[in-house]
Amino acid sequence: MSRLDAQGHEWRSGLRFPWPQPPANGEVLEVAPGLLWLRMPLPFGLDHINLYLLRHGQGWVAVDTGLNNVQTREVWEGVFAQALGGLPLVAVVCTHFHSDHVGVLGWLAERFRCPVYMTASEFQAMHQLGGRRATCDWAFSEHYQKAGFTCEQTEALFPLLNSAHFSPEIPTGFTRLREGVTLNIGGRAWQVLIGRGHSPEHACLYCADDGLLISGDQVLPRITSSVCVEVTEPEANPLGDWLDSIERLRAVPDSVLVLPAHERPFCNLHTRLDQLRDHHLAHVQTLLAACDVPRSAVELMAVMFPKAKGRFDEMMAIGETLAHANYLMAEGRLRRDEAEGVFRYARTADGATARPVSGPL
Ligand SMILES: [Zn+2]
């Protein structure tokens, strides 16, 4: 359900959307003086990413880049010639390492001989993307078979990781972003705020004076960002990190204009933070209810994500299921036992204490 207010702004699920339509693919829309919203197409169900262009002196700073493919480069060529008025990029800021955000980062940095700004963990994670193994190794098999997939199903998941879509063009070096540092871009002071859970050290940019938050994938208005346990760290607790990040973002005023990486810019940040928290806590309750008897992650995935279809969906769904299971284990509310090479999760008695580290140690 949505409605329009007197200013013509759309209200949907408690959030206000000042722009009724996004710019067309490859077009820009000025959302604040010297700040352009650029739509870049993606060849997925989620068919776009929002990039932001910030005027700085005799050039522009880009926030995020699009996927590494021919279409992205063609769109950028049009943007360079028209929207940017022939002025160069003087820097690229990347919010996090996911392929739709860093895809052509190396290409842009090389073309304009400009610096790249990222957090250290995201820069390292981006390098991992390009260094995937050619064959399904022990750690990969172990992770998915312990979740409850068969050997054949596990091997079928492996090629998804090696898709050309997910190999970015990587720059050689970077300038490090840290929590709380300020970037001065075009007369605006942008403070770096770090979020975790969707990616290891996601950078958001917050301009307090003008009430603007470039939120990347840390806060999206309608869809929820993936919060997954990955094969690279099977014992991680990304949901704990994600819920913690939601609370920390409450330090940003509710009144800011949020500029997200997907869908449309919106207002009412705190309402959205409440919704994101409630979404995951509802999943936590669903998972707990299903663990009245010991169940594998694959069995729990079928309860939590009954609509998951196809291998890519399954890979995301099992990652999310494990994120909720690991969170509940860290809270001491689930225990995990291994039988015949598969982990099974069951509710603990009230008052049980969590083990800080899992595995044999
Ligand atoms: Zn992402």
Distance 353 CA to ligand 1 centre (A): 33
Same domain, 264 and 308: no
Residue 266 belongs to some domain of the structure: yes
Residue 206 belongs to some domain of the structure: yes
Same domain, 295 and 337: yes
Residue that terminates a domain, selected from 252, 280, 308: 280
Distance 158 CA to ligand 1 centre (A): 20
Residue 361 belongs to some domain of the structure: no
For residue 64, with 0-12 CB atoms within 10 Å meaning exposed, 13-18 middle and 19 or more buried, which class applies? Answer: buried
pLDDT of residue 160: 82
Residue that terminates a domain, selected from 280, 300, 334: 280
Distance 226 CA to ligand 1 centre (A): 7
Residue 304 belongs to some domain of the structure: yes
User: pLDDT for 55-100, tens place per residue?
Assistant: 999 999 999 999 999 999 999 999 999 999 899 999 999 999 999 9
- The C-alpha atoms of residue 297 and residue 302 are separated, in whole angstroms, by 9
3-state secondary structure of 150: coil
Q: Give 157-177 as a DSSP string.
A: HHHHHT-GGG-----S--EEE
Query: What is the phi/psi pair of residue 124, to 5°?
Result: -65, -40
Same domain, 188 and 234: yes
Query: What is the phi/psi pair of residue 317, to 5°?
Result: -65, -40
pLDDT of residue 129: 72
Angle of CA points 262, 66, 91, to nearest 5°: 105
pLDDT of residue 133: 67
User: pLDDT for 195-226, tens place per residue?
Assistant: 999 999 999 999 999 999 999 999 999 999 99
For residue 72, with 0-12 CB atoms within 10 Å meaning exposed, 13-18 middle and 19 or more buried, which class applies? Answer: buried
Same domain, 118 and 218: yes
Distance 65 CA to ligand 1 centre (A): 12
Domain limits for position 324: 290-347
- The C-alpha atoms of residue 245 and residue 195 are separated, in whole angstroms, by 5
- Identify whether the C-beta of residue 39 lies closer than 8 Å to the C-beta of residue 64: no
* Chain centre distance of CA 16: 22
- The C-alpha atoms of residue 142 and residue 359 are separated, in whole angstroms, by 13
Distance 93 CA to ligand 1 centre (A): 14
Residue 313 belongs to some domain of the structure: yes
pLDDT of residue 280: 97
Same domain, 54 and 203: yes
Residue that terminates a domain, selected from 251, 280, 309: 280
Identity of the residue numbered 261: A
Same domain, 252 and 340: no
Same domain, 65 and 117: yes
Distance 164 CA to ligand 1 centre (A): 17
Residue 141 belongs to some domain of the structure: no
Distance 101 CA to ligand 1 centre (A): 7
User: pLDDT for 114-133, tens place per residue?
Assistant: 999 999 999 999 988 765 66
Same domain, 11 and 101: yes
CATH of the domain at 339: 1.10.10.10
Same domain, 253 and 301: no
pLDDT of residue 351: 59
pLDDT of residue 203: 98
Residue 17 belongs to some domain of the structure: yes
Q: What is the CA radius of gyration of the chain?
A: 21
Identity of the residue numbered 231: V
Distance 50 CA to ligand 1 centre (A): 12
- Identify whether the C-beta of residue 46 lies closer than 8 Å to the C-beta of residue 224: no
pLDDT averaged over 10-residue windows placed end to end, the chain, 361 residues? 87 95 94 98 93 97 96 97 94 97 97 98 88 78 96 90 79 97 98 98 98 98 95 95 98 98 98 98 97 97 92 94 97 95 92 64 69
Query: What is the phi/psi pair of residue 158, to 5°?
Result: -55, -45
Angle between helices 310-330 and 269-290 (to 10 degrees): 90
Residue 285 belongs to some domain of the structure: no
Structural domains in the chain (count): 2
H or E stretch covering 118: strand 116-119
Same domain, 25 and 90: yes
CATH of the domain at 213: 3.60.15.10
Same domain, 295 and 216: no
Distance 67 CA to ligand 1 centre (A): 12
Same domain, 276 and 298: no
Order of strands across the sheet with 182-185? 182-185, 188-195, 202-207, 212-216, 257-260
Distance 287 CA to ligand 1 centre (A): 24
Angle of CA points 108, 112, 114, to nearest 5°: 85
